[in-house]
Structure 1
Amino acid sequence: MINLEFKKRNNIISNSAKKVRRSGKIPGILYGKVMNNFMFEVGGLELGKEISKQGEHGVLNFNIDGEGHKALVKHVQRDPVSHKIIHLDLEELEGNQTIISSVPIHFVGEDMLTKKGVVIQKEKDTVRVECFADSLPKYLEININQGMVGSVYKFGDLEVASEISIIDDLNSVIASISYERKTVSDDMVAIVEEAKEEKKAK
């Protein structure tokens, strides 16, 4: 994990955020006890790489005036068309403190279910966890490749390291496999085949 370089942003200037983006940087705000509502800007390419590595709910290391800091990503705002990052909200962390954050759920083996002709109904795509900042995972996995119609998966089925606690109700359903996939083309084939059988019978 690299340390990003944050530079204080002058929010008094008109259209400050737009000017920052035009220069290839991303505007953001840092909340916390020490640096409350600190407006900053950071290089867009460097930020994009770190968000890709750490996740949109991960922890970032950064420097301000040569001093190292750490923060939890609270919100990444993206352009609805280009999907590029246009703003960043961070929460300041003090040392390796305990944090509560949401992390994405990765469903392993989804392709296998597709080949079987069944569909997984996802109820949740993130899970809230509590852990030390340095132990925050980019995502949590659940293996569903052995699933079949009727299979139900809950938060308690997620693969979690011993240093991580799930905050959400372990009995809450996150996904289920409920029915076979039927497409319009499948129905049309069935109708055609049925018509052929009726013709033969006549």
Structure 2
Amino acid sequence: MRIIGLTGGIASGKTSVANLLERLGAPVVDADQLAREVVEPGERALAQIAESFGKAVLNADGSLNRAALGEIVFADPEKRRKLESITHPAIKERAEEKLARLKAAGAKTAFYVAPLLIEAGITSRVHEVWVVYLDHETQLARLMARDGLSREAALSRIASQMPMEEKKRLGRVVIDNRGSREDLEAEVLRVWREEIAAGQPPPAEP
């Protein structure tokens, strides 16, 4: 099974592209969704988080209090690394399970969507990387509009990630999302026809 890693920068349109690919018939495994799943009540990772950071990071019903945990880990790089040492292996395990099920079901191609695919050094999970791209000013404008951020706050969030131009160079396929929604739909359909519908053989196993 050909596993394609789909990534991009904040507000670049990864989710929109993933939704379009799903509509075209591609199975999609979303790392952000997996990250939410592995910290649900009853999951081992949630128990480890409570053990490491205290009951204050749990709500009364036993679910994760993301705001409380965020206050702890974003102010302390060491604690953020501790959190990642709990969640990343759980996400990896869940991703491998879902991809294995897709392969067993006969899927020829699957997309693994991960915002930090390159930064987290997990490109070994995929055969190739596709990047959803937009230029810096368009990214800034869309992030400010989407999240209601000031220019300074939006710039800070963008600066915390790998620059889009650098990610663009690392993508075997680049999906241009600088235009309208209609432009994006046409771009995804074009790439789909060239890369997926054409039935190209998958690369070697990672």
| Same-fold status (TM-score > 0.5) | no
Greater radius of gyration (CA):
1
Give the TM-score normalised by structure 1.
Answer: 0.25
Structure having the higher helix fraction is 2
Query: Highest relative contact order (Cα 8 Å, sep 6+), 1 or 2?
Result: 2
